Amino acid sequence: MGLLDRIGRAIRANINHLVGQAEDPEKILEQTVLEMQDDLIQLRQAAASAIATLKRSERQAQQAQSAADEWYRRAQLALSKGDENLARQALEKRKTYVETAKAFATQLEQQTTIVSNLKQNMRSLESKLAEAKTKKDMYIARARSAAATEKLHQMTSRYNPTGALSTFDRMEEKILQMEARAGAIAELNSNELEQKFAALEAGGDIDTELDAMKAKLIAGNNPAQLPSARKNDPQKP
């Protein structure tokens, strides 16, 4: 379990480093998964090598046992033929192979335990890797969403509603002032034109009145001669 512990510590270290240094979460998670995949490859290679060694030891143990059995058969054959010395030699040979077979049997127990542990660790790491990939995708999606939200907040903070409305209010006030000035200028121009026409009309009245006064004066200096009633009335004596 040492390898899995090391992987767990590496994951926790990467996460702590991420939080402490504010590094790119996506890069950290991708790197962690890659490291776990490399560890799994190495673990599979170790398991394959251990299994190959186990198979070879099994064959050698079987060969040693077969040889021991063969020399036992020969010892029986020699003894049945009355050759005790040859039977003894055959049993001594058999003893060597029996000891070799026992040694291989001990190795087989150890190698079987090693292979079993490697397979268990490999399955556990495969499960953890699958879980890590799922979490990686989820965390990356969350990190991207958080980054997008942060960027959106940064963008909208530059255009906060209060500031925007304040700007529009100022512009509206400025436009109203411009419209008021334009209206005042137009009104002044209109009043000036009205005054000119009023002056012309007033001047005409004065001229008319002045002409009337002149006519009266002329009429006063030269009174009109009324025709005599007697001359004009032939019936009066």
> Which residue in 12, 48, 36 sits closest to 126, CA to CA?
36
pLDDT (0 to 100) of residue 74: 94
CA–chain centroid gap for 149, Å, is 8
Using pLDDT thresholds of 50, 70 and 90, give the confidence band for residue 3: low
Q: How much is the pLDDT for 230?
A: 47
Look at the block and give the residue holding tokens 């965390």. 139
Domain ranges of the chain: 2-158, 164-218
- Put simply, whether the predicted model's pTM sits higher than 0.85 gets the answer no
At residue 68 the predicted structure's pLDDT band, cuts being 50, 70 and 90, is very high
Supply the pLDDT for residue 222. 62
Mean pLDDT over 134-153 rounds to 85
Q: Rounded to an integer, what distance in angstroms lies between the CA atom of residue 183 and that of residue 53?
A: 103
Contact 108, 61 (CB under 8 A): yes
